[in-house]
Chain A
Amino acid sequence: MMENKRTKTFFEEMDRISELPEPILNHVLSFLSFKEVVQSSVLSKRWEKVWLTCPVLEFDEKVFNKYLDWYEYRKLNKHVQRRRNALFNCLTGIMRNYRDNVISIKKFTMSLFLSDDRAFTSFVNHCIYYAIGCNVSEIKLLFRFVCGETYKYNLPQIVLFAKSLEVLELQGCNVGLPTSDHLKLSSLRKLCLSNVRVDDRMIENLVGGCPLIEYLNFNLCEGFKCLELFGLTRLYEIKLFKNYEIEWLDIKALNVRSLEITRTNVSHEIDLSFCKNLTRLMLCYAPITDEWLCDLILQLPVLKFLSISCCYKLKTIEISSCCLEELDLCEYIDCNWIELKIDTPNLRSLSYRGTVLVLSLNASALSKINLHFLSRNVETQKYIKFLANFHHFSQVLDLEIVKSENVMVPRELRQTLSSPLSSVKLLNLRFRTRQNCYSIAKIVDGLLWFAPHIKTILIKNGSVNEYSFKFTYKKQPTYEGETASCCKSLPIKCWNHCMEAVNVEFNEVSNIIRYSLSGARIWEKIVALCKVWELINSD
């Protein structure tokens, strides 16, 4: 009893957030924008000083708002100038306070539109000096420029010697070579450069000066022709995106797990065989050849995810791997792929976008297939042959096509060809662009030929319209009470004689209907229902 009473009063005293220790209040603040952080100073006396030790400082457009409107300061409006300088002084004062009181900064971010403006760059420089003086562990300097501007912010050299720095993200900067000794970023784990100009010597120094680097991301960088990554034992992930000027690329990093290369002008064959621990590889617009790809895959013993898109030099793609689990292939317009040979016993997911081509597939563990045919005119026989490859492997198939005719196989062909997807139980059909005039019943009829005895068909037309059909079947095919004669000779019994019931759901903009149909002449009922639905929604 005594104890209960005591804790009650304790609770009453502790009933307000303001009683929490400063680090927790700062923690709450660190998720807010800097403007909001500063606003917290007027909450109460307790809060007046809390924000001055907030470990996350983010100067973004919200802070500079009206003071930095690019057009305004080109006009040199005196009023704006004065207010802008006051803001700079205020912010530099805040940062100086951090340094003078040895308050550590965890993360310093500056993200805004910049122009070639002396007062402004000098302000940015000061902030960076103070942040580094506070042993900052994360710096993000993201500068964007008005269209057509070639100016870049010159990164102060002090950043390249910041021992406490663990994460460095730069956008729209010039990184020049230090005049004194080699740069040293001994704690750096993550380096992201976007639209940054660096020359060859500098990039060599930069990469060499970060022994603990784990993550590298170069995006639209310029100024260097050669990128060599070796001896970086902790390097785990590399992303190279549209660095058009790179001509020589050498990656000898044993522990890299993930590598993405998008659009490169490297003309030599990139040697990736040293990256034995790669589990994830993405190549997009890379000038790779059939032999190169085939050889590389054989040399990567733990590769789990492979994505190849728009690699225009490829013709016959041969992928043979025991470890591969996910494969993503995208042909795109400029390519002329002819054949796919896939031998991957542990592949679980396959996604293919492109034209209908010759396919040979060994992937008995496949459970997820996504096919997306880009061409409008599909040669029916070739297409059925392509689909037939999946017949053994998967019960679920996602199919995306350009127009409804692609799934409507002519009557005469249905007699001579066998259904390509007879083991598929769930089919998701999607039209890439919204089809305006087509008959749902005709499509379902076509799909039922592709996959007889299918349990569920989902059709998505554009982003809002959805149709779903869930079928149940009888064991014995009957037609009006009699065993249907046509089924006797066929290996797979006709769906239209076996169908017992169907649950239909149509969903179009704001209309939804649900129907359960069963009994004799079920197909005729489905057709009638579809017609009524189309009539209602025709206007």
Chain B
Amino acid sequence: MAIEHGGFKRKSKIANEIPTSSMADIAFLLLIFFMITTVFRKEQQRPVEFPDAEAMQTVDERRSNIMNIWVEPDGQVFINDQLTPPGQVTPIARQAYIDTDRRLVVSIRGDRDVPYNVINQITEELRDAGALRVNFYTDLEQRVTRARR
């Protein structure tokens, strides 16, 4: 083989490799940073069976702009884990509407067996509050569940 570099071997003391031994530590630090800064929505899951639908879409709005209204099978309404009697939805929705800079989407998470007048009461109160963008939360309809019903 021919003599490389004109016969002079390069004797650099600087390693020409990126040090990879600390990469895992850096990654973990990043991970811990994101874990700490993530704010989870602390809302209790309720024993609600959602209706099924085929035409459902995902809500295209930031999570902080979505307010959930849970309607339990016995007709009790919960907003932010607080039992909300009829007539009290309007002030809460209006405040949320202001807080979200008019971008509020109300997701009604109602049980499939709840009587319609409970839902109607909520939508009418939302109209009073001016919160007009509503999402009726549903699960994706599967053919199997359709045959069972």
- Is B truly associated with A? no
